Homo-oligomer: A and B are copies of this chain.
């Protein structure tokens, strides 16, 4: 029976998406089968379109559809500031924050001896060259506050020690809307150490 095999193959592929297991993939495919015209065909088209056209920006590593991503191609974005993020997801999160008007460098991961991810895989030499050639004034390390993220941040800070750029990192403290009672001890300690005049 070729037809159920096609549907099974689709379910298997869907089940490989994060957040979907075999059961929820089956449910998603059934919903797609019920809305073949309105949802399934446009989704297949949109996915094929992105799969065909998406490419990594040659400057910053962000995902776009041309050699330069929209941020690197935008003349309104300040060239003097580079925000270093682990992942495209983090870049999107920064953009949703609408607070940063400079450009990015997407590492694509963190340094990891176990997974043999070294500075070259993360494009750190490329970042150092870029900071020198663009005359970058400030490099903001917006890495996750995890052990791997902070290790990578320290490595990058060392690599950039010879450059003229100032190295900064995101502030640690109480999240907006956060309640002290629900915060972990580390965050409260960091927020206290970084306290500011009111």
A1 at interface (Cβ–Cβ under 8 A)? yes
Q: Are A6 and B47 in contact (CB under 8 A)?
A: no
A180 at interface (Cβ–Cβ under 8 A)? no
Q: How many copies does the complex hold?
A: 2
Binds B, one of A32-40, A117-125, A138-146, A167-175: A32-40
Given known contacts A18-B28, A20-B20, A28-B20, is B41 in contact with A54 (CB within 8 Å)?
no
Given known contacts A27-B18, A64-B3, A89-B27, is B51 in contact with A44 (CB within 8 Å)?
yes
Most buried by B among A10, A40, A50: A50
A186 at interface (Cβ–Cβ under 8 A)? no
A26 at interface (Cβ–Cβ under 8 A)? yes
Cα of A6 to Cα of B65 in the assembled complex, Å: 9
Inter-chain contacts of A69 with B (CB < 8 A): 3
A9 at interface (Cβ–Cβ under 8 A)? yes
Inter-chain contacts of A92 with B (CB < 8 A): 26, 30
Instruction: Kindly identify which residue among B4, B42, B51 contacts A40, using a CB–CB cutoff of 8 Å.
Output: B51
Q: Are B24 and A19 in contact (CB under 8 A)?
A: yes
Inter-chain contacts of A24 with B (CB < 8 A): 18-19
Inter-chain contacts of A50 with B (CB < 8 A): 6-7, 10, 29, 32-33, 40
List residues of A whose CB falls within 8 A of some B CB: 1-4, 6-7, 9-10, 13-14, 16-20, 24, 26-33, 36, 39-54, 63-66, 69-70, 74, 87-89, 92
Can you offer 5 A-B residue contacts whose CB atoms are under 8 A?
A16-B39, A26-B89, A30-B87, A32-B47, A40-B50
The 10 closest A-B pairs by CB, nearest first: A3-B65, A1-B70, A44-B47, A44-B48, A40-B51, A3-B64, A17-B28, A19-B24, A10-B46, A41-B51
